[in-house]
C-alpha cells in the first residue's frame, strides 16, 4: 500500500485570530498548509510565529506567501501554484464599526475578495478544490423576534461589512449552483479568544479591566452596553470550519452557542473574575461603573463607539451543525473569559 497523500489547505487570513487556530488544527491533522499574508510595514505574524520560521516563512508543512485578495492576479496565481484540496477564505476587513468609515475598501476586500477566489477556482477548473466562506451572523442584522437564528432566517444587514458578507455568502451559493464548485458557508456567530484583535469589545473589556486592576489604566470607555451577542471560543469554531469542508456535500451552516449575553453582562462577568467590585450608576450615555473600593469611575461611555445602525440581538441555533456535522461548542463563556484574562494578566 502506498503512503496516504497529505491534504493541502490554503488559508486566506492566516495572520488573523481564526487563521491561527485553524492552522494549528490542520497541522495537528497532518495537512500541508499554505497561508497568504499581506505585506505590512510592521510585523503581522504574531499569532502564527510559533508555527513557523518567521524569517524564512516556512516549516516543512507550513508555507507563507505574500498576497492580497484585492489583487485578482496574485490570488489566481497562488491558487494555481498550490492547487489546494481546501481553500479557507477567512480574509476580510472584519471590523463592523470601521466599515462605516471605510465602506468602499470594506466591500472590495470582504465582498469582491471572496468573488476573486471563487472566480479563480472556476477559471482554473479545480474540480476537487473545496471552498469555505467565513460568513457572519452580522448578515442577520435587524431581526424581528428575539429568538435563535438559523440557516432559514432572512438577512437584513446593518453595515457595509454585513452587506459585503451577504454578497460573499450568495457568491458561494451561486458558484456552487452554477458551476458545481464545493462552496460552503459557515455562518459563525461572534467568537473570541486571547488572540482577538484589541478593538473588538470582549478583548477591549478584558484588556481594560486587567490593566485597571494592575493600576496601569484609570478608565475604560465603551459604547452600547445593551447589545446582545452569542459569544463562543475561536478554538471551537476552527473545528467547525474543518468539519464543514469534510461534510459529504457543500451546504450552509450556523455555528453558535445558543447562549446570550449583553456587553454589560460581559463586563460584569469579567470584573467578578478579577475581584473588581463595581456599581453601575446613571442612564443613557451617562451610565458609568464605579469601583466600590476606590469610589472612582472606571467605566464610562462615549458616543464615538456607537454605530449609526446597531445589531441589537444575535443568538444562533446550531442544531443543524450539531446533528449533521456532530459539532458543538465545548468552551463555555466563563471559560472563554478565564482564558482571555489569563493571557492578559501575563503581559
* Residues binding ligand G4F (CB under 6 A): 94, 96-97, 136-138, 189-190, 199-201, 204, 222-224, 227, 229, 263, 305, 307, 310, 314
Which CB atom, from 120 or from 136, has the smaller least distance to ligand G4F?
136
Which CB atom, from 190 or from 270, has the smaller least distance to ligand NAP?
190
Distance CA 147, CA 55 (A): 49
Distance CA 236, CA 258 (A): 14
* Subset of residues 232 to 251 that bind ligand NAP, contact rule: CB under 6 A: none
Q: Does 167 bind ligand NAP (CB under 6 A)?
A: no
Q: Does 68 bind ligand NAP (CB under 6 A)?
A: yes
Q: Position of cell 486566506? A: 12
Which CB atom, from 93 or from 184, has the smaller least distance to ligand NAP?
93
Which CB atom, from 120 or from 276, has the smaller least distance to ligand NAP?
120
Which one of ligand G4F, ligand NAP, none interacts with residue 340, CB within 5 to 8 A by kind? Answer: none
Which one of ligand NAP, ligand G4F, none interacts with residue 116, CB within 5 to 8 A by kind? Answer: none
Which one of ligand G4F, ligand NAP, none interacts with residue 280, CB within 5 to 8 A by kind? Answer: none
Which CB atom, from 79 or from 205, has the smaller least distance to ligand G4F?
205
List residues bridging with 63 in a β-sheet.
34, 58
Backbone angles phi, psi at 145, to 5 degrees: -80, 145
Distance CA 85, CA 242 (A): 12
Which CB atom, from 45 or from 110, has the smaller least distance to ligand G4F?
110
Distance CA 269, CA 209 (A): 11
Tell me the closest approach of the beta carbon of residue 215 to ligand NAP, in angstroms.
29
Distance CA 223, CA 174 (A): 37
Which CB atom, from 310 or from 343, has the smaller least distance to ligand G4F?
310
Distance CA 313, CA 105 (A): 26
Which one of ligand NAP, ligand G4F, none interacts with residue 69, CB within 5 to 8 A by kind? Answer: ligand NAP
Which one of ligand NAP, ligand G4F, none interacts with residue 26, CB within 5 to 8 A by kind? Answer: none
Which one of ligand NAP, ligand G4F, none interacts with residue 222, CB within 5 to 8 A by kind? Answer: ligand G4F
Number of residues that bind ligand NAP (CB under 6 A): 27
Q: Does 92 bind ligand NAP (CB under 6 A)?
A: yes
* Subset of residues 252 to 271 that bind ligand NAP, contact rule: CB under 6 A: none
Which CB atom, from 65 or from 170, has the smaller least distance to ligand G4F?
170
Question: Which of 7, 24, 38, 211 is close enough to bind ligand NAP by CB under 6 A?
Answer: 38
Which one of ligand NAP, ligand G4F, none interacts with residue 168, CB within 5 to 8 A by kind? Answer: none
- Which is nearest to 87 in space by CA: 50, 122, 35, 140? 35
Which one of ligand G4F, ligand NAP, none interacts with residue 16, CB within 5 to 8 A by kind? Answer: ligand NAP
> Which residues of the shown chain bind ligand NAP in the complex (CB under 6 A)?
12-19, 36, 38, 40, 44, 68-70, 90-94, 109, 134, 136, 188, 190-191, 197
Amino acid at each position: 500500500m502506498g503512503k496516504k497523500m497529505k491534504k493541502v489547505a490554503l488559508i486566506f487570513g492566516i495572520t488573523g485570530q481564526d487563521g491561527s487556530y485553524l492552522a494549528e488544527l490542520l497541522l495537528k491533522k497532518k495537512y500541508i498548509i499554505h497561508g497568504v499574508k499581506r505585506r505590512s510595514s510592521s510585523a503581522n505574524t504574531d499569532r502564527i510565529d510559533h508555527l513557523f520560521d518567521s524569517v524564512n516563512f516556512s516549516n516543512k508543512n507550513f508555507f507563507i506567501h505574500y498576497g492580497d485578495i484585492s489583487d485578482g492576479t496574485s490570488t489566481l496565481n497562488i491558487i494555481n501554484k498550490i492547487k489546494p484540496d481546501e481553500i479557507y477564505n477567512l480574509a476580510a476587513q472584519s471590523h463592523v464599526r470601521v466599515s462605516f468609515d471605510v465602506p468602499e475598501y470594506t466591500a472590495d476586500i470582504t465582498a469582491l475578495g471572496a468573488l476573486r477566489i471563487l472566480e479563480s477556482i472556476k477559471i482554473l477548473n479545480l474540480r476537487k478544490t473545496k471552498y469555505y466562506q467565513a460568513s457572519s451572523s452580522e448578515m442577520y442584522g435587524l431581526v424581528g423576534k428575539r429568538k435563535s437564528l438559523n440557516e432559514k432566517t432572512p438577512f437584513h444587514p446593518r453595515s457595509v461589512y454585513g452587506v459585503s458578507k451577504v454578497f460573499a455568502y450568495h457568491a458561494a451559493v451561486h458558484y456552487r449552483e452554477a458551476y458545481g464548485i464545493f462552496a460552503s458557508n459557515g455562518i459563525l456567530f461572534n467568537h473570541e479568544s486571547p488572540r482577538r484583535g484589541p478593538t473588538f469589545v470582549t478583548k477591549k473589556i478584558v484588556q481594560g479591566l486587567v490593566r485597571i486592576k494592575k493600576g496601569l489604566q484609570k478608565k475604560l470607555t465603551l459604547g452600547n452596553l445593551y447589545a446582545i451577542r452569542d459569544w463562543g471560543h475561536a478554538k471551537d469554531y476552527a473545528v467547525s470550519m474543518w468539519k464543514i469542508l469534510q461534510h459529504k456535500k457543500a451546504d450552509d451552516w450556523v455555528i453558535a452557542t445558543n447562549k446570550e449575553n449583553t456587553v454589560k453582562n460581559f463586563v460584569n462577568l469579567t470584573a467578578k473574575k478579577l475581584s473588581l467590585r463595581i456599581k453601575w450608576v446613571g442612564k443613557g450615555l451617562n451610565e458609568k461603573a464605579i469601583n466600590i473600593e476606590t469610589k472612582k469611575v472606571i467605566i464610562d461611555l462615549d458616543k464615538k463607539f456607537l454605530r449609526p445602525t446597531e445589531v441589537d440581538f444575535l443568538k444562533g441555533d446550531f442544531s443543524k451543525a450539531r446533528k449533521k456535522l456532530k459539532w458543538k461548542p465545548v468552551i463555555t463563556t466563563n471559560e472563554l473569559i478565564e482564558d482571555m484574562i489569563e493571557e492578559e494578566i501575563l503581559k
